[in-house]
Amino acid sequence: MNFDYLLVRLGELTLKGRNRGKFESLMLGKIKQALTEYPELSYESAFGRVYIKLNGADGARVLSRLTDVFGIWTISPVLKARHDLEDIRKAALAVMEAHQPVPYTFKMSVKRAWKAFPHDSMEMNHLVGAHVLRNTPSLRVDVREPDVELRLDIQQQGVFVYCTVVPGAGGFPLGMNGKAMLLLSGGIDSPVAGWTAMRKGLEIEAVHFHSYPFTSQQATDKVIALAKRLAYYGGRIKLHLVPFTELQTTLAQQKQDHLIITLMRRSMLRIAERLAERSGALALVTGDSLGQVASQTLGSMNVIGRAAQLPLLRPLVMMDKLEIIRISERIGTYETSILPYEDCCTLFVPKSPATNPNLRVVEGIEHALGEQLERMVAEAVAGTDTVVMTAQGPEEKRAVPSAEDRWF
Amino acid sequence: MKTYYFDHSASTPPYESVIRAVAELMAEHYANPSALHRAGTDAGKLVERARTAIASLLGAAPSEVVFTSGGTESNNLAMKGILGQTGRKGKHLITTAIEHSSVHATAKQLESEGVRVTYLMPDAQGRIAAADVASAIAEDTALVSVMHVNNETGALQPIDEIGELLRDHPRIRFHVDGVQAVGKVPFDWARSRADLYSASAHKFRGPRGAGFLLVREGLKLRPLLAGGGQESDARSGTHNLPGIVGMAQALRLALESMPERRSRMYELRRRLLAYAKDISELVLNSPEDERVASPQIVNLSYPGMRPEVLLHMLEEHGVLVSTQSACSSKSLKPSRVLMAMGLGEARGAGSIRISFGDEHAAEDIDTLAERLRMTVAKLKPLERD
């Protein structure tokens, strides 16, 4: 069975006062953007809700796409019945039969917003509930803990009938809460951090550091693939590719092996901060998770974090690796993240990196490098290559058909 | 003399553009797609692009596409990949008596290694009943393997119905041999309950030596080949890049034009069936009803006549058809499929298969019918009981 509508409930619980209007119009835009491949859909906004009329589109696919749109609380596939008892009964039975897994108990809940409807809620409860029971021998009523709740929403334009409520991604519509710069490595954590930030309504630009030829083109391709996946959630993502070879090899020659990660990370934050300033981002987002590696101990976070003035957001800081992996599988970045190409964060890793680096020593080394460090940071920023990623791939590539298209 | 090639179910003439692409790819992308250097990664990207293209054409995720060498390997990988795993010995396999030999012989092989096998019998139309699958399910059933379109008769198998009933048995894996169906019969992986779906490029005008197996997300297979771990360890061996990309293009061309090609082929099938009815010596072994027959295969028997005699006489007149299947033509054994349908020795041993494709027009069917009539008339005095 295909449904008539999808009822989308926006994250209304998190909304207060004046924000609602902005939230709702932003949400409608995001929903439409995610569903551009279904031109047949039409949209009706209501208070905290959007009714999507399917007009024959595959409801299951549209629903599945919507579960990845931030700011959506829940989604229900809905049948619309006329103001006619038989039609309502038919629809009620149909939505109950379509419910998976097959429910054993149910209860009715009727909302009569349109008061001109001849039967009141109690009567409807009985008239429709009894019909469903008569036609579904295995079904019982349980008002306390039903497997499903069969809902009738009686409105002036018709009666909406549904029983399935699918949880959405939650959060805020993208861009609602400003912009941040994500430090994106090829690993498991940083894409998850990016997704988490995006779910909170942050628009993300990603920055990736590469040290060719110490890192390979595949490592960069991997990050491009990750950014592309994030763009599936965000529509479009700017990916800044920063040449880091000179900085990294210079730092590696300071004869301070145990501090190299600390030094490197501080330089990365400086570069990311400049890129953030250039594009108006007000925070840096990293995939740090407390205690996971040497650079993510509290001592390291302290010394590294001091290199940046912007707020450092670390959405994964209190999460376990397994939780992070679970999210990364769910959002479709895990398979890419575990590809084996080395990125620059794992290059030149010493046998015993400092877990509690001394800020004064670190600052001393940087001071000794002086203008050279400043010049290398500036050059890295200047040499940054920016690609705009969409869920389909790099944006400029789509315009011109590539030579290899003829083979496909 | 012009040759009329009516053996599309055995192999199809590749698209011109596919032949060109394969040649260009062989010349330009000879590097190993697994190599680290630029030439290798460029080749690797083409493999991945082909994977994404094939996946989106069939409603699958790219990670669900495993490239193989063709139908036989896909079928072997699907079945042994599930049943060859440790702890699976002594499990139960449900398949049918009418599967392609690469499924049938694999079932036999697994049986000899301790897997319990149920072979479901078809009806006289050559169709398996979904209800029979339901009643064959046992506690230890691990795999159901049913083909989508039968390669000898063209009978469409009820894989959607079987899939629906298997939804109540989430632990049972469902393999569908789609080799004869791809490009001819609509199939949507996203909506299907199938866990494994086999395809072969040269059956839909792609290059030979390339095929794929769709493997449901999260399902792990025991590999047939040990080696470099390509295809996420499911299938080692250097990627057949020209074949894979050529296959992706052929699949696109086949699927884009499928609605129009299907109606054309059904038209040809109707025309051929009408002619065949007029030749009283011939009996139809394919389903008459179009709703349960794929559009491109017509199987006829001349009871009492060895089919290879018919085949060779037709060949002398430029018409190429096949007997039951290429591999067993010398054995003189009746067709396993037709025997399972209960059609008897005479019909089972005397069948020819006519399968057509995009290059055929109504006039070609007229020519075929005329030469068939002529051949049967010549052979009539030589009939044996």
The reply to whether A129 sits in an annotated binding site is no
Neighboring chain B residues of A216 at a CB cutoff of 8 Å = 36
Is the Cβ of A356 closer than 8 Å to some Cβ of chain B?
no
Q: How far apart are CA A253 and CA A387, in angstroms?
A: 31
Report the gap between the CA of B21 and the closest CA in chain A (Å): 5
Which residue on chain A is closest to B53 by alpha carbon? A408
Asked if A217 and B24 come within 8 Å (Cβ–Cβ), the reply is no
DSSP B223-252: -SS-SS-TGGGTS-S---HHHHHHHHHHHH
Shortest Cα–Cα distance, A211 to chain B (Å)? 16
The reply to whether A406 touches chain B by the CB within 8 Å rule is: yes
Q: Is A221 on the interface with B (CB under 8 A)?
A: yes
For residue A62, the one-letter residue type is V
Helix/strand/coil (H/E/C) assignment for every residue in chain A: CCCCEEEEEECHHHCCCCHHHHHHHHHHHHHHHHCCCCCCCEEEEECCEEEEECCCCCHHHHHHHHCCCCCEEEEEEEEEECCCHHHHHHHHHHHHHHCCCCCCEEEEEEEECCCCCCCCHHHHHHHHHHHHHHHCCCCEECCCCCCEEEEEEEECCEEEEECCCEECCCCCCCCCCCEEEEECCCCCHHHHHHHHHHHCCCEEEEEEEECCCCCCHHHHHHHHHHHHHHHHHHCEEEEEEEECHHHHHHHHCCCCHHHHHHHHHHHHHHHHHHHHHHHCCCCEECCCCCCCCHHHCHHHHHHHHCCCCCCEECCCCCCCHHHHHHHHHHCCCHHHHCCCCCCCCCCCCCCCCCCCCCHHHHHHHHHHHCHHHHHHHHHHHHCCEEEEEECCEEHHHHHCCCHHHHHC
Whether B41 and A217 lie within 8 Å, measured CB to CB: yes
Residue B27: CB partners within 8 Å, gap ≥ 6? Answer: none
At residue B327, does pLDDT exceed 50? no
Q: Which residues of A touch B52 (CB under 8 A)?
A: none
The answer to whether residue B332 scores a pLDDT higher than 80 is: no
Strand pairing partners for B197? B176, B214
B208 is catalytic: no
Each residue's pLDDT tens digit, A284-303:
999 999 988 888 899 999 99
- Cβ separation of A407 and B25 shorter than 8 Å? yes
Task: Assess A371–B contact: CB distance below 8 Å, yes or no.
Answer: no
Is the distance from CB of B197 to CB of B219 less than 8 angstroms? no
Which of A218, A221, A404 has its CB closest to that of B46?
Answer: A404
Q: Over pLDDT 90: what percentage of chain A? A: 70
Q: For testing the chain A interface, which of B36, B251, B255 should be mutated: the one with the most A CBs within 10 Å? A: B36
The token pair at B210 is: 């390339």
Q: Is the pLDDT of residue A54 over 80?
A: yes
Contact with chain B for residue A340, Cβ under 8 A: no
Q: What is the mean pLDDT of chain B?
A: 93
Instruction: Output the CA–CA distances (angstroms, integers) from residue B288 to B120, B147, B184, B295, B324, in the order listed.
Output: 22, 19, 17, 11, 18
Q: Which of residues 238-257 of A touch B (CB under 8 A)?
A: none
Confidence bin at B325 (pLDDT 50/70/90):
low
Among A337, A187, A406, A218, which Cα is nearest to B33's? A218
CB atoms closer than 10 angstroms to residue B210: 27
B80-113 confidence digits (pLDDT tens): 999 987 666 669 999 999 999 999 999 999 999 8
Q: Does A372 carry a binding-site annotation?
A: no
Check if B327 contacts A (Cβ < 8 Å): no
Structure tokens at A179: 């912009």
Least Cα distance to A113 among A179, A163, A158 occurs for A158
- Judged by CB atoms closer than 8 Å, whether chains meet at A408 and B248 is answered as yes
Give me the catalytic one of B36, B190, B226, B327.
Answer: B327
Quick check: A398 pLDDT over 50?
Answer: no
Instruction: State the Rg of chain B over Cα.
Output: 21
Report the distance separating Cα B301 and Cα B349, nearest Å.
Answer: 8
B248 touches chain A (CB under 8 A): yes
Question: Chain B, 177-196: which have a CB under 8 Å from a chain A CB?
Answer: 190
The answer to whether the Cβ–Cβ distance between B24 and A407 falls below 8 Å is yes
Check pLDDT > 80 for residue A396: no
Maximal C-alpha separation, chain A: 86
Residue A265 assigned to a binding site: yes
For residue A285, which of A222, A196, A211, A225 has the smallest C-alpha distance?
A196
Q: Reduce the DSSP state of residue B349 to 3 states and report it.
A: coil
Cβ-based contacts under 8 A for chains A and B = 26
Question: Band of the pLDDT at B333, cuts 50, 70, 90?
Answer: confident
Determine contact: A216 vs chain B, CB below 8 A. yes
Task: Say what the pTM is.
Answer: 0.70
Query: What is the predicted pLDDT for the residue at A11?
Result: 75
Mean pLDDT across B342-348: 90
Residue spans of beta strands (DSSP E) within B154-236: 173-177, 196-200, 211-215
Reference A221, options B57, B36, B228, B232; nearest CA is: B36
